[in-house]
């Protein structure tokens, strides 16, 4: 089964994207498998709305370990299963919380073996400081993803006014990447994401 990993900085919208994309392709409920750094696994059943209440939030590092969903999508007359895995957000600095450090390490480890990488970038957050910092974690993910050749940027929060003007800046920063403008919150751009999944499933 193909695994699509969602990576990005904390609060870039990874979990909201995973859940609303599941809803977009027809899921009313999801079984979320949680995988901790030390290998412990547990599974919980949610409605999509319950999952958003429980798993999404404005606090940094709400997601601290891998959270996987098995989803179904029709390709012609065939129903194909695939896995989409939400991850702990990664940043440049070493975090003071050991659980979050382990979650970041878990994300980086899975990045190496996932079949496809969805890199969520908060396009509304591209400011002068971001443009002038060549060592952002987004740039590191991009450099790795381009080499892998199974990589797409999801330019998230396109519904926000500041994001519209930043798409050209995103193209300047990450010139070799295929970027899909999306709103994880409002499910905008998901038709193109679905087509991307279909091509790579």
Per the document, the length of the chain is 201
Element (H, E) at 132: helix 128-132
- pLDDT tens digits, 12-64: 999 999 999 999 999 999 999 998 877 788 999 999 999 999 988 766 556 76
- pLDDT tens digits, 166-175: 999 999 999 9
Alpha-carbon distance of 143 to 95, in angstroms, equals: 23
Find, among 14, 101, 189, 54, the residue nearest to 4 by Cα: 14
Average pLDDT over residues 175-197: 97
Q: What local confidence, expressed as pLDDT, does residue 95 receive?
A: 60
84 token code pair = 């989409």
- Whether 71 has a pLDDT exceeding 70, the answer reads yes
| List of residues 6+ apart from 163 with CB closer than 8 A | 123, 124, 155, 157, 181
Handedness of CA 156, 179, 119, 82 (dihedral sign): positive
Among the four given CATH numbers 3.40.50.1370, 2.30.130.10, 1.10.443.10, 3.40.50.300, the one describing domain 3-200: 3.40.50.300
Average pLDDT over residues 119-123: 96
Q: What local confidence, expressed as pLDDT, does residue 25 receive?
A: 96
Burial 134-151 (b: 16+ CB within 10 A, else e): eebbbeebbebbeeeeeb
Q: What local confidence, expressed as pLDDT, does residue 109 receive?
A: 80
Alpha-carbon distance of 186 to 139, in angstroms, equals: 26
Q: Where are the domains positioned within the chain?
A: 3-200
The overall average pLDDT reported for the chain is: 89
Q: What local confidence, expressed as pLDDT, does residue 59 receive?
A: 65
For residue 111, name the pLDDT band (cuts at 50, 70, 90).
confident
pTM, rounded to two decimals: 0.90
């Amino acid at each position: 089964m193909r695994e699509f990993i969602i990576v990005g900085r904390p609060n870039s919208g990874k979990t909201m994207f995973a859940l609303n994309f599941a809803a977009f392709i027809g899921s009313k409920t999801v079984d979320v498998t949680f995988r901790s750094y030390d290998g412990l696994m547990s599974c919980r059943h949610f409605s999509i709305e319950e999952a958003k209440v429980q798993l999404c939030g404005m606090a940094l590092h709400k997601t601290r370990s891998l959270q996987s969903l098995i989803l179904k999508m029709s390709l012609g007359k065939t129903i194909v299963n695939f896995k989409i895995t939400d991850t702990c957000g990664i940043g440049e600095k070493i975090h003071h919380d050991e659980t979050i450090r382990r979650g970041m390490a878990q994300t980086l480890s899975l990045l190496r073996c996932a079949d496809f990488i969805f890199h969520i970038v908060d396009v509304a957050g591209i400011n002068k400081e971001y443009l002038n910092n060549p060592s952002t974690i987004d740039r590191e993910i991009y450099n790795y993803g381009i080499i892998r050749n199974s990589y797409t940027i999801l330019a998230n929060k396109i519904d926000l006014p500041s994001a519209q003007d930043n798409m050209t800046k995103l193209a300047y920063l990450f010139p070799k990447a295929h970027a899909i403008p999306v709103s994880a919150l409002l499910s905008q751009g998901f038709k193109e994401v679905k087509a991307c999944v279909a091509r790579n499933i």
